[in-house]
């Protein structure tokens, strides 16, 4: 029998007993005592009713408390699983990720991305080459915490087909030269290829207006603390998981998103790629982590292997370096800086039947050692170091720009020299014309001189002939005179001798 029913029966018996006793006491007690007794009895009944209601409420709440405690224990266990995963499982593989795991993944993504300031509004380019950008989060009451001399990366945002604004055009690297509570003043230290092409197409006189119309007017910017890094899962479908056996090493690619994103970027690029190069880029992202072909270069081919026995690999270098060193890993891939080293002997153990992906050469060494067997070969695209690539492109742009300026200077010098040479040639041609005219006169005079010389030669010849004739005549006369003189002398000699001989 239920205890509550027993209590009700006992209570009814007590009430009847009290009524009978009260009825018998009417003859021996005064009326007030009887009335007071009945009032006390009624009060006790009322109190009993309230006590029973309180006990019933207490029992009800105790039942609810027990249920809530059980539910609280279940929710606490579920909360722990959601927050930390199932603590009874050594390996948290399969199922949904815990909040801590998701937080770690998000932290890794944020670590690679750094801080960002989206939908910031730029002001027109100033005469000194600086530009003021109003930070949207600072306007909403959250300090931007950007210090002076800080280096940030700027993107011009565009409307995405999905209905929100995304960074679309990389503008370059900027240095913060001044800050306020709601804005930062920037000066460009590195131009993106798009901005460099824009600078090359616009003359200096109209550059500010062209820049403001293209990148400032009705535009918003995204500022990044760290230039976004490349990742193999950047275009992986949201519900896909890496699978080295399928193979889909980085998850199934979202091909629609790849095509849409690349087309979105190409339409807004100052140097739009050709359809062939755009298709080649899309193919690299689609094939990333998928089965390779014989045409793929060896440096883009990884091999998936299954370990047939337990395998230990050393991952820590014996010569740790300072974290300030630029190389975190040595040539063999071992960690050199303390915060990246595993410790505990500096090696990791891979259990049997574990599937992993390794570069082709290393996979061949592992299979040759008998530690594992080949499963498949996959294509792994080379990740882009955007920061280094943009710096290299900008250095090339500066080098080409300087060479172009040098070539332009040389061209101007050659044009000036050519102009001067043209003037000299014209002058020499004028002089030649004059000389040719003078030469004509000289030739005429030469002809006259030749004619005169001819006549003079004839006169000379005639004169010489006459002189020869005269010379011969003179010679004959001289001989004749010599004969006459001799005859005279002979005659005079005879006359003298005759005179001497006569007495």
Cα 298 from Cα 382, distance rounded (Å) = 12
Cα dist. 450→280, 321, 442, 455 in Å?
Answer: 86, 101, 12, 8
Smallest CA-to-CA distance from 146 within 187, 115, 123 is with 115
Do residues 301 and 292 make contact, with C-beta atoms less than 8 angstroms apart?
Answer: yes
Do residues 189 and 197 make contact, with C-beta atoms less than 8 angstroms apart?
Answer: no
What's the pLDDT at 3? 63
pLDDT along the chain (503 residues), means of 10: 64 69 66 69 75 83 90 88 74 67 77 84 89 83 88 89 83 93 91 78 74 87 88 82 80 86 79 84 89 89 91 82 66 79 81 89 88 90 86 85 88 91 90 86 85 85 86 86 85 81 68
Cα dist. 253→108, 277, 293 in Å?
Answer: 21, 19, 18
What pTM did the predictor assign?
0.62
Beta strands 151-159 and 221-224, pairing class: antiparallel
What's the pLDDT at 147? 92
What's the pLDDT at 324? 58
Peptide bond into 98 cis (omega under 30): no
Largest CA distance in the chain: 265
Do residues 176 and 184 make contact, with C-beta atoms less than 8 angstroms apart?
Answer: yes
Residue 322, sorted as left (phi over 0), alpha (psi -120 to 50) or beta, turns out to be: beta
What's the pLDDT at 72? 92
H/E run at residue 102: helix 99-113
Those residues with Cβ within 8 angstroms of residue 447's Cβ, 6 or more apart along the chain or in another chain: none
Residue 288 burial (10 A CB sphere; 0-12, 13-18, 19+): buried
**175 phi, psi to nearest 5 deg:** -105, 135
Smallest CA-to-CA distance from 308 within 345, 351, 277, 352 is with 352
H/E run at residue 361: helix 360-368
Cα 416 from Cα 422, distance rounded (Å) = 10
**∠ CA(419), CA(422), CA(423), 5° rounding?**
90
| Assigned token pair, 340 | 């990246």
Beta strands 130-134 and 151-159, pairing class: unpaired
- At 206 the three-state DSSP class reads helix
Q: Please give the order of strands across the beta sheet that includes 301-307.
A: 355-359, 301-307, 372-379
**302 phi, psi to nearest 5 deg:** -115, 155
**407 phi, psi to nearest 5 deg:** -65, -40
Find residue 350's DSSP bridge partners: 311
Long-range contacts of residues 257-266, Cβ cutoff 8 Å, at least 24 apart: 258/282, 258/285, 258/286, 260/161, 261/235, 264/158, 264/160, 264/161, 264/168, 265/168
Do residues 115 and 212 make contact, with C-beta atoms less than 8 angstroms apart?
Answer: no
**∠ CA(417), CA(422), CA(425), 5° rounding?**
120
């Amino acid at each position: 029998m239920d205890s509550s029913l027993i209590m009700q029966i006992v209570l009814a018996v007590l009430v009847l007993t009290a009524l009978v006793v009260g009825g018998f006491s009417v003859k021996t007690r005064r009326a007030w005592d009887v009335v007071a007794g009945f009032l006390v009895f009624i009060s006790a009944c009322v109190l009993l009713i309230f006590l029973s209601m309180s006990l019933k409420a207490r029992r009800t709440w105790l039942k609810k408390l027990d249920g809530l405690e059980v539910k609280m224990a279940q929710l606490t266990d579920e909360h722990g699983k959601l927050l930390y995963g199932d603590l009874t499982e050594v390996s948290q593989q399969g199922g949904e990720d815990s909040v801590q795991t998701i937080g770690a993944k998000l932290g890794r993504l944020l670590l690679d991305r750094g801080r960002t300031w989206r939908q910031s509004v730029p002001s027109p380019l100033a005469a000194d080459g600086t530009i003021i950008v109003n930070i949207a989060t600072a306007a909403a009451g959250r300090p931007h915490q950007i210090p002076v001399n800080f280096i940030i990366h700027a993107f011009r945002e565009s409307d995405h087909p999905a209905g929100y604004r995304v960074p679309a055009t990389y503008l370059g690297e900027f240095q913060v030269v001044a800050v306020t509570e709601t804005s930062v003043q920037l000066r460009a230290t590195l131009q993106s290829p798009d901005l460099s092409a824009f600078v090359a197409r616009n003359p200096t006189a109209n550059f500010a207006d062209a820049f403001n119309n293209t990148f400032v007017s009705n535009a918003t910017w995204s500022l990044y603390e760290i230039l976004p890094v490349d990742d193999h899962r950047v275009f992986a479908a949201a519900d896909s998981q890496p699978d080295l056996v399928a193979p889909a090493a980085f998850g199934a690619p979202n091909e629609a998103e790849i095509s849409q994103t690349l087309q979105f970027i190409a339409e807004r690029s100052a140097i739009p790629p050709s359809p062939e190069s755009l298709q080649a880029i899309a193919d690299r992202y689609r094939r990333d982590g998928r089965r390779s072909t014989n045409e793929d270069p060896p440096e883009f081919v990884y091999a998936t292997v299954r370990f047939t026995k337990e395998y230990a690999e050393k991952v820590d270098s014996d010569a740790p370096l300072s974290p300030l060193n630029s190389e975190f890993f040595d040539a063999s891939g071992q960690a050199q800086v303390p915060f990246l080293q595993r410790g505990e002997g500096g090696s990791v153990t891979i259990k049997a039947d574990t599937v992993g992906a390794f570069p082709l050469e290393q996979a061949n060494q592992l299979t040759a050692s008998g530690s594992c067997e080949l499963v498949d070969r996959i294509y792994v695209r080379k990740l882009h170091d955007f920061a280094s690539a943009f710096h290299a492109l900008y250095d090339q742009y500066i080098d080409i720009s300087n060479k172009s300026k040098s070539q332009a200077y040389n061209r101007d010098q050659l044009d000036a020299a050519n102009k001067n040479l043209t003037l000299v040639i014209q002058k020499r041609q004028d002089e030649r014309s004059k000389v040719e005219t003078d030469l004509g006169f000289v030739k005429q005079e030469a002809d006259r001189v030749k004619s005169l010389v001819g006549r003079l030669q004839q006169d000379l010849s005639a004169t010489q002939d006459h002189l020869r004739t005269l010379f011969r005549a003179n010679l004959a006369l001289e001989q004749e005179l010599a004969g006459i003189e001799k005859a005279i002398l002979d005659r005079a000699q005879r006359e003298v001798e005759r005179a001497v001989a006569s007495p």
